[in-house]
Structure 1
Amino acid sequence: MIRKVFALVPREYAALTPRLLFVIVLQALCQAAAYVLLVPVLEALFDGDTGAAWRWAAALAVAVPASLALGFVQAVLGLRIGVGMQQGLQTRLGDHLNALPLGWFETQNAGALSRLVVENVRECQGLVAYLVAKMLTGVIVPLGVAVGMLFVDWRISLAMLLAAPALYLVNLWANRSYAGSDAKLHEASAEANARVLEFAQAQPVLRSFGAVGAGNKALDSALAQQRKAASALLLASVPGLIVFSLCVQAVFLVLVYLVVGQVTGGSITAAAAIALIAVSSRFIEPLNQAAQLGTALRTAAAAADRVTALLAEPTLPQADSEVTPGAPSVVFDNVSFGYRTGAQVLSEVSFTVEAGTTTAIVGPSGAGKSTVLRLAARFHDADSGRVLVSGHDVREQPSHTLLGQLSLVFQNVYLFNRSVLENIRAGRPDATDEQVREAAAAARVDEIAQRLPDGWDTAVGEGGASLSGGERQRVSIARALLKDAPVVLLDEATSALDPQSEAVVVRGVHELTRDRTVIVVAHRLATIAHADQILFMAAGRIVERGTHEELLALDGRYAAFWNERTRASGWRLESVHA
């Protein structure tokens, strides 16, 4: 188990690990020697042999300070490696997360990820900083005492050596019942964390449906499952701890019995018996300590497994060399893709978006429209075929080169809990305040800033909670305008907005897409009609393509879709009087 955790120590601190282990072993041996030396010291004192007592005491005076000094060195080394490990491992996890496919995050539990990066890393760090020293000491000291007792009484030594493997088997049995329960507690805690986060972020929705307090069944269920998993873990760990402790005490009783038997048989003196019992108690103490730390050790090992599993998640292969982007076009060449094996979302999709043109993608829900945008931005890699942006396969472009050519505006807008200016500046961190405000004005965000209490410096809340849906979209468009990328991937999100907000957002979209290459998953009829090319998708395939006029003349699925949307746009509610 310890090996799993030490495998996660950053390379710059890995060289200190052998030194730490050496110091721990040496300190434990000095401690064991000090315990063994108690026997001749006490025996000489009870026998009245002060000369021999002083000689043995001199050896004891070397072993004890050496143990203390080595203990200090071990503590310093452990903390140095542990603190460095926490920082280095979290940085490594952050870098790895940055290299994972963007689509990987769409299926992840935010609570589980947060728990892993913070709590699990801290548990691994704690093992290196101080647990490993206590665990190794709990093993080496008793073994050292057992070996040292060979020079005092071979029968006591043999009993100690026979007890060690028996106690190891008991501890192994306890570990087996713990591992499964700990995994279930981690899953339940991650789910509870996610539900608490959801509870805090979605208060308006929850309150509107009365799902607060006892009415929030998802949160109540997650917390109940967490309590149940915690109880199960306790039930799984406590029996093993109790049995191990009882076995340790049984070993101590056996040692005392052997010592008393030696005294009554005349093999050793009463003075030697007192010394042996004292040393036997020192033999037992580290074993008890190891039993108490067993749960913490198993927790750290389970945490190391989860961290290792995350680091083993396959990253997107990165291109080794830079490419020079050509004209801002987008090409899908016979692309097929599925989020899961055996469940294709796109099948042999091919189309070209010429530089400076707009292609609208329409079709029923689940047709694969948004997946096209995600593949163009390389959220995932296509299972087969090629996706080219600006003349180069997206797999042959470094991530910063590819994403530098793209402005993405999706339906789900996420804003950071920072000021309006900082959220817009995320599109181009080196932009000046003047450039940020110009982009904001083009998206009509200046109107929002005027009514906020602190103007441009107003924090917008977690996820932009203090802004309406239309206002969040305006900030998102301003962010994309500031980036000024030649290719725009747009999943229109105006269908759920009120007419006034929709009109403002549409003006921002027009500003964003002017003179750029655009792929838009279109919902608005005006956007569809003015596109240079329209792709109608169904069941992951392009079933019709052409201009608006060409597709209407074809009188196929697009024409039926257009006619249905046109009729729906004229619907209105009217009062009916009896």
Structure 2
Amino acid sequence: MATAKVTDIEQRGRRLLRHLIRQERRRLLSAVLLAVAAVACQLVPYLMAYRVAVELVTEVDPDGGALTRYALVALVAIAAGTTLMGGALAISHLCAYWLLYRLRRRIANRLAVLPLGEVSRRGSGAIGKLAMEDVERIEVFVAHMLPDAVASLSVVAATTVWLFAIDWRLALAAVAVVPLALLGLRHATRGSGTWVAQWHGAGMAMNQAITEFLHGIKTVKVFNRQSDTVARATGAVRGYVAAETRWGTAFLPGGAAYFTVMAANVVVVVPVGLWLYRDGAVDLPTLLLFLLLSLGYTAPLTKLTGYSSQLRQVRFGADEIAALLDAPALPDTHQRVPLGPAAVELTDVTFGYRPDRTVLEGVTLRAEPGEVTAIVGPSGSGKTTIARLVARFFDVSAGTVTVGGVDVRELAVDQLMDTVAVVFQDPFLFHDTIRANLTLGQPDVDDESVYRAARAARCHDFILALPQGYDTIVGERGATLSGGERQRISIARALLKDAPVVVLDEATASTDPENEVLIQQAVASLAAGRTLLVIAHRLTTVRNAGRIVVMTDGRVVESGRHEDLLRAGGTYAGLWEDATTSARWSLGATDTRSGASR
């Protein structure tokens, strides 16, 4: 089964390469033809050298005019060959860049429709390697390898025919080393598929480790774990070096024999040629021509050998890209349907991120339109998972999730995204202006709407205080802003989206008291006239919610208003007692330290 699966992936990679080449087949064909013409021009100087040798050896008084013509023809051929090869490479590069553009767009479009779990499983480092490094190798294949390989094959074919046409005995001497060299190459490339797979896997692991290190650099510094994380990244780099070294070591004996024997054809041509010349079987011009051609005869073959190694890398990368492009997208009906009042309802929902671990089991709850519904519970109880299922980052294993009375799986994905806005605990801001981040997906929104949303989200004032106001660049992931400022901008972004359903995932979990008050005011603006589903860590922030749903171990154990749940004395009452006790303990500790300091 595993072998069949690998073979299927390899077939998809080959199909992808063929498809890419077919997209630009006309221009690539013209590039190949120009390359072949360039090769023909490259053979002309050898022919002219042969003609000069004949003139000098056979004529007592060589014709100076003829020698000059031969030299001029050789110069023109060299110039024409260089021009034609330049044109071939220019066309092939143009084709390659267009192919890269389209391929990267396909990768981006596929990532946009894949389930979040599939993207997370692959990892940003591995996906980054596919989109950058492996795609670049396809550019090298199309822009360089394809025309060069055709040119090299043309050189070998044309030279071989020419050599046999002149003297079949010397031609056999010139090509005699090729079969022996190929035996060495066969030994060198034995098991190369395994070596390439290990090398490629190590490269993806290295990219993932380095990407993870860079993304987590703040945490690494705060916890003073530089040595551990650097060691992990260094270990991944060493793994990559080791994989490449093993591959090179396996190739070395046969490869060295191949290149040595390939370069030794002149060792065969010289004695055979001198023997035939001594017996009068060949003349001196013919011997000189064979010596010239034999010196360069095997060079195109060795170039092709280098390309064959690169082609394995290209094909392996194409296999991985094809596997990503063929990964099943989140099913989309593409049907926009009428929705009822924007209620959110989960009915007997069961879900797990892995087949062997259930996160939610039999969850049923309802968030009413125009009301704040809070979901609370211990860490790991499944609160954030519910937010992801409502936004359909994943599909449920069993049960249904409905928005406006319609199963989210029956809605067009773009309609669902128009209907549901999500504000995450750690909002992502692009390395762009504040205005661009606020109007994400709505570039035509007017300035007054932007300002109105920013005021409602309590971020207008601090934005105006920035050096360029709304045109201030916020840095990578919003690094120049505080956590509370990023959170309020994400709420303003949700207000601008004007979706009838808003999901807030731990919006105040890591903010200071001042920012928490501002965010609460922003959330109040966000709640007006919308269905608001709040995933809450701090119970004090949701005590006034219309309904509080309490979860434990992936199940709903209680629901109701704050006062009712306290009177019931159940799980929520215990959580509330823990929260208030913790707050009193913190205040008491502060008072104690203050008294001590006094």
TM-score, normalised by the number of residues in structure 1: 0.86
Matches within 5 A, 1:132-171: 132-158=146-172, 163-164=177-178, 166-168=180-182, 170-171=184-185
Establish whether residue 198 from structure 1 lines up as the match of residue 215 from structure 2.
Answer: yes
User: Which residue among 268, 283, 295 is the counterpart of 2:297?
Assistant: 283
Change (3 A) 1:249 1:338: same
Q: Write the deviation string for residues 494-521 of structure 1: whole angstroms up to 9, x where unpaired.
A: 2322211111111111211122112221
User: Match of 2:492?
Assistant: 478
The answer to whether 1:124 aligns with 2:138 is yes
Q: Deviations over 1:414-452 (max 9, x none)?
A: 112223333222264322111111111112112322442
CA drift of 1:297 comes to: 4.0
Corresponding residue for residue 376 of structure 1: 390
Aligned match for 2:199, one of 174, 182, 200: 182
> How far does residue 553 in structure 1 lie from its aligned partner after superposition?
4.8
Alignment of 1:457-496 (within 5 A): 457-496=471-510
In 1, Cα distance between equivalents of 2:53 and 2:398: 80
1:217 and 2:248 aligned:
no
Q: 2:592 aligns with which of 567, 575, 578?
A: 575
Counterpart pick for 2:511 among 497, 502, 507:
497
After superposition, what is the alpha-carbon deviation per residue over 1:513-544, rounded to whole angstroms, capped at 9, x for unaligned?
12211222122324543333333223323233
State the SS of the aligned residue for 2:263.
helix
1:308 aligns with 2:322: yes
Shift of 1:370: 0.7
Partner amino acid for 2:371? T
Q: Which amino acid aligns with 1:279?
A: L
Structure 1: any 5+ residue segments left out of the alignment? none
Report whether the alignment pairs 1:7 with 2:18. Answer: yes
Tell whether the 8 Å contact from 2:377 to 2:383 is kept in structure 1 after alignment: yes
> Is 1:229 equivalent to 2:237 in the alignment?
no
CA spacing shift, 1:391–1:297, aligned 2, 3 Å: same
Q: Kindly provide the amino acid, as one letter, of the partner of residue 150 in structure 1.
A: F
Quick check: 1:387–1:394 contact (8 Å CA) kept in 2? yes
Query: Does structure 1 conserve the Cα–Cα contact (< 8 Å) formed by 2:456 and 2:525?
Result: yes
Q: Are the counterparts in 1 of residues 126 and 207 from structure 2 also a CA contact under 8 Å?
A: yes
Rounded Cα–Cα distance in structure 2 between residues aligned with 1:534 and 1:83: 55
- In the other structure, the counterpart of 2:128 is 114
Matching residue of 1:422: 436
Structure 1, 33-42 or 493-502: larger mean CA deviation: 33-42
Select 1:444's aligned residue among 444, 447, 458: 458
What SS does the corresponding residue of 1:529 show, helix, strand or coil? Answer: coil
Distance in 2 of aligned mates of 1:252 and 1:435:
80
**Ranges in structure 2 where 5+ consecutive residues have no aligned partner:** 1-9
Deviates further, 121-130 or 352-361: 352-361
- Secondary structure (helix, strand or coil) at the match of 1:537 reads strand
Contact 2:125/2:204, CA 8 A, preserved across alignment: no
Distance apart, 1:30 and its partner CA = 6.6
Q: Could you tell me how far apart the structure 1 residues matched to 2:396 and 2:180 are?
A: 55
Does residue 514 (structure 1) correspond to residue 525 (structure 2)? The answer is no
Q: Residue 392 of structure 1 is aligned with which of 406, 409, 413?
A: 406
Residues 252 and 284 of structure 1 are in contact (CA less than 8 Å); yes or no, is this contact kept in structure 2?
no
Relative to structure 2, which stretch is displaced further, 172-181 or 142-151? Answer: 172-181
Match status 1:538 vs 2:552:
yes
- The residue type equivalent to 2:332 in the other structure is Q
Following superposition, the deviation at residue 374 of structure 1 comes to 0.6
Would the aligned equivalents of 2:46 and 2:289 in 1 still touch at CA under 8 Å? Answer: no
Further displaced range: 4-13 or 508-517: 4-13
Structure 1 position 288, deviation (Å): 3.4
Aligned pair partner of 2:360 in 330, 346, 357 = 346
Q: Distance in 2 between matches of 1:418 and 1:7?
A: 38
Aligned to 1:406: 420
- Contact 2:113–2:330 under 8 Å retained in 1: yes
> 1:328: Cα distance to partner?
0.8
Give the structure-2-normalised TM-score.
0.83
Between stretches 531-540 and 39-48, larger displacement belongs to 39-48
Secondary structure of 1:412 counterpart: coil
Moved more, 363-372 or 162-171: 162-171
Amino acid at match of 1:13: E
| 1:355 corresponds to which of 348, 369, 383 | 369
Contact 1:33 1:144 in 2 (8 A): no
Match of 1:249 among 263, 282, 285: 263
Contact 2:117 2:353 in 1 (8 A): no
Aligned mates of 2:21, 2:263 — CA distance in 1: 40
Instruction: Report the Cα offset of residue 405 of structure 1.
Output: 0.9
Separation of aligned partners in 2, 1:365 and 1:115? 34
8 Å contact kept, 1:36–1:279? no
Evaluate the alpha carbon distance shift between residue 225 and residue 145 of structure 1 in structure 2; reply closer, same or farther with a 3 A threshold.
Answer: same
Q: CA deviation at 1:78?
A: 1.0
Task: Spell out the pairing of 1:553-568 with structure 2 (5 A cutoff).
Answer: 553-568=567-582
User: How far apart, in 1, do the equivalents of 2:339 and 2:271 lie?
Assistant: 84
Between 1:566-575 and 1:374-383, the stretch displaced more is: 566-575
What RMSD in Å do the two structures reach over aligned CA positions?
3.6
Distance 1:387 1:125 in 2: 44
Specify whether residues 317 and 352 from structure 1 end up closer, same or farther in structure 2 by C-alpha distance, changes over 3 A only.
same
Instruction: Determine helix, strand or coil for the equivalent of 2:511.
Output: coil
1:454 corresponds to which letter in structure 2?
Q
Determine the C-alpha separation between the residues in 2 that align with 1:434 and 1:284: 72
Contact 2:14 2:318 in 1 (8 A): no
Is the contact made by 1:30 and 1:64 (CA closer than 8 Å) also made in structure 2?
Answer: yes
1:194 shift after superposition: 0.9
Stretch of structure 1 that moved more, 164-173 or 413-422: 164-173
Deviation at 1:487, TM superposition (A): 0.2
Matched residue type, 2:233:
A
Residue in structure 1 matching 2:449, options 421, 431, 435: 435
Q: What number of residue pairs does the alignment pair up? A: 570
Cα drift, residue 403 of structure 1: 0.6
* 1:388-430 deviations in Å (ceiling 9; x for gaps): 2222222222222111111211111111222333322226432
The AA in structure 2 aligned to 1:563 is E
- CA distance in 2 between counterparts of 1:569 and 1:103 reads 37
Identity between Structure 1 and Structure 2 (%): 33
Which stretch of the first structure deviates more once superposed, 275-284 or 401-410? Answer: 275-284
Q: What SS does the aligned partner of 1:229 have?
A: helix
CA distance, structure 1, for counterparts of residue 66 and residue 338 of structure 2: 83
CA contact (8 A) 2:176 2:265 kept: no
Q: How has the CA–CA distance of structure 1 residues 235 and 446 changed in structure 2, closer, same or farther, with 3 Å as cutoff?
A: same
